């Protein structure tokens, strides 16, 4: 099996191309001895297959027949998630996009209202190419455009009727933001007052429990339906579950078939998801707690290093993920980050991005603190910031 120091290569990648740049980043991240998180997609195919085979024997009986059209280990996963969330039933989907398309379509039919109220930074609005309208004939409205979830007053006073309120918890593109528990209860109550149903986009719901101070069943009980993902925080391969009442799940299974999501076999995704529930879910509170230490030390290091204007957002992370903003082009910041990984064996930041709107010359990155990051002290973070700023200056001087 390939070790972590092996360079990832692709003979078809043209020098200077985006593919060559991606492979360079991947090689640097894999070879680094220290990082805040190690992502499953950084591993080679052989490493992923070996991990899957090892996990299969710990989370299920590998001598059982493989799944066919959703039974076997897939059904086992559905029952496990329904139990964790405290819902009557759950249904597995190959993608979260499909799961939410189906959920919102079902609710539109049940309420008789095809309008979905959600945030303009929510996943369906930013990352799904207008699929709610193009595929399901739904229309979206925005109770707020502020970079946070809507308040109860904004939901209650919105001038247009809507059938479903969709809340993304946390709101990833606004900085992995969450309301307080009391604010969430009030928003849900405001939707109920308008006879609307509530759907949680819980792709990252698993790590919300620490912020809310509530268990997963109590959080899920606020909504009429909940979607959860397996690869974003749990290290799975792919896949999602839609959870809710038995009647909703039964209807969703029909639409899953119609949408092309009833795959013949999905045991790799199901096995990886079960492993993530066993291995990563219990650790998420420690990741969220340490993210606060990392974020504070990052801010101290950037201020001490003379970075100028910067933002660690939110200042105190709500989950184990948060954003860092700096006033440089994304390409410059990414180059400095890759050089730090190559030259020091430390990955502080990964890739940087240009925001969809805002002042030119500003970029942001997302920081994830997972098991590898628990080894970092505040001093380690500050030292890594100083090394990054040194390479940022060198990159700018080139």
Residue 59 tokens read as: 């989370």
Task: Give the pLDDT score at 252.
Answer: 98
**How is the chain split into domains, by residue range?**
18-48+282-397, 64-279
Find where tokens 């184990």 sit.
Answer: 320
Q: Beta strands 321-326 and 34-35: pairing type?
A: unpaired
The pLDDT assigned to 361 comes to 87
Give the per-residue pLDDT at 2: 35
CA distance 356 to 253: 36
CA distance 349 to 395: 15
Residue owning tokens 């090689």: 27
pLDDT of residue 11: 53
Would you state the pLDDT for residue 394?
76
Task: State the pLDDT at residue 75.
Answer: 96
Q: Please name the CATH architecture into which domain 64-279 falls.
A: 3-Layer(aba) Sandwich (3.40)
Residue 41: the pLDDT is 81
**Burial zone of 351 (CB within 10 Å; 0-12 exposed, 13-18 middle, 19+ buried):** middle
Which residue from 158, 114, 159, 102 is spatially nearest to 140, judged by alpha carbons? 114
Fold for the domain defined by 18-48+282-397: 3.90.1150
Q: How far is CA 330 from CA 34, 256, 350, 388, in A?
A: 23, 39, 11, 14
Name the pTM for this structure: 0.92
Distances (CA, A) of 229 to 89, 235, 273, 356, 357: 16, 10, 9, 25, 28
User: For every one of its 398 residues, what pLDDT tens digit does the chain have, with 9 covering 90 and above?
Assistant: 334 444 555 555 677 788 999 999 999 999 999 999 998 888 888 999 999 999 998 999 888 888 999 999 999 999 999 999 999 999 999 999 999 999 999 999 999 999 999 999 999 999 999 999 999 999 999 999 999 999 999 999 999 999 999 999 999 999 999 999 999 999 999 999 999 999 999 999 999 999 999 999 999 999 999 999 999 899 999 999 999 999 999 999 999 999 999 999 999 999 999 999 999 999 999 999 999 999 999 999 999 999 889 999 999 999 999 999 999 999 999 999 999 999 999 999 999 999 987 678 899 999 999 999 999 999 999 999 999 999 998 776 66
Q: What pLDDT is attached to residue 39?
A: 87
| Residue-level pLDDT at 156 | 97
């Amino acid at each position: 099996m390939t070790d972590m120091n092996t360079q990832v290569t692709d003979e078809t990648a043209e020098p200077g191309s985006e593919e060559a740049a991606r492979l360079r980043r991947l090689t640097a991240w894999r070879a680094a001895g220290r990082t805040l998180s190690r992502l499953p997609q950084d591993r080679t195919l052989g490493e992923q297959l070996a991990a899957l085979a090892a996990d299969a024997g710990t989370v299920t009986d590998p001598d059982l027949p493989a799944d066919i059209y959703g039974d076997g280990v897939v059904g086992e996963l559905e029952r496990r998630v329904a139990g964790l969330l405290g819902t009557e039933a759950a249904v597995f989907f190959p993608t979260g996009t499909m799961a939410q398309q189906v959920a919102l379509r079902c609710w539109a039919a049940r309420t008789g209202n095809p309008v979905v109220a959600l945030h303009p930074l929510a996943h369906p609005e930013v990352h799904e190419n207008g699929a709610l309208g193009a595929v399901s004939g739904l229309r979206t409205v925005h109770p707020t455009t502020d970079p946070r979830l809507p308040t109860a007053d904004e939901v209650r006073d919105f001038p247009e009727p809507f059938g479903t309120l969709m809340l993304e918890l946390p709101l990833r593109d606004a900085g992995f933001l969450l309301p307080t528990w009391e604010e969430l209860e009030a928003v849900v109550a405001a939707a109920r007052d308008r006879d609307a149903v509530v759907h949680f986009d819980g792709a990252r719901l698993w790590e919300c429990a620490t912020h809310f101070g509530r268990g997963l069943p109590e959080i899920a009980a606020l909504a009429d339906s909940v979607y959860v993902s397996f690869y974003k925080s749990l290290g799975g391969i792919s896949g999602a579950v839609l959870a809710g009442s038995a009647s909703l799940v039964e209807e969703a299974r029909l639409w899953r078939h119609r949408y092309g999501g009833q795959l013949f076999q999905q045991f790799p995704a199901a096995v990886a998801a079960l492993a993530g529930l066993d291995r990563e879910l219990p650790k998420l509170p420690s990741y969220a707690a340490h993210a606060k230490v990392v974020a504070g030390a990052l801010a101290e290091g950037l201020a001490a290093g003379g970075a100028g204007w910067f933002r660690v957002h939110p200042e105190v992370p709500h989950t184990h993920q948060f954003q860092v903003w700096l006033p440089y082009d994304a390409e410059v910041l990414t180059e400095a980050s890759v050089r730090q990984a190559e030259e020091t064996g430390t990955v502080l930041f990964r890739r940087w991005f240009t925001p969809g709107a805002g002042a030119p010359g500003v970029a942001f990155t997302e920081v994830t603190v997972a098991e590898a990051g628990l080894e970092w002290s505040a001093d380690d973070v500050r030292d890594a910031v100083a090394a990054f700023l040194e390479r940022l200056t060198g990159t700018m001087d080139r």
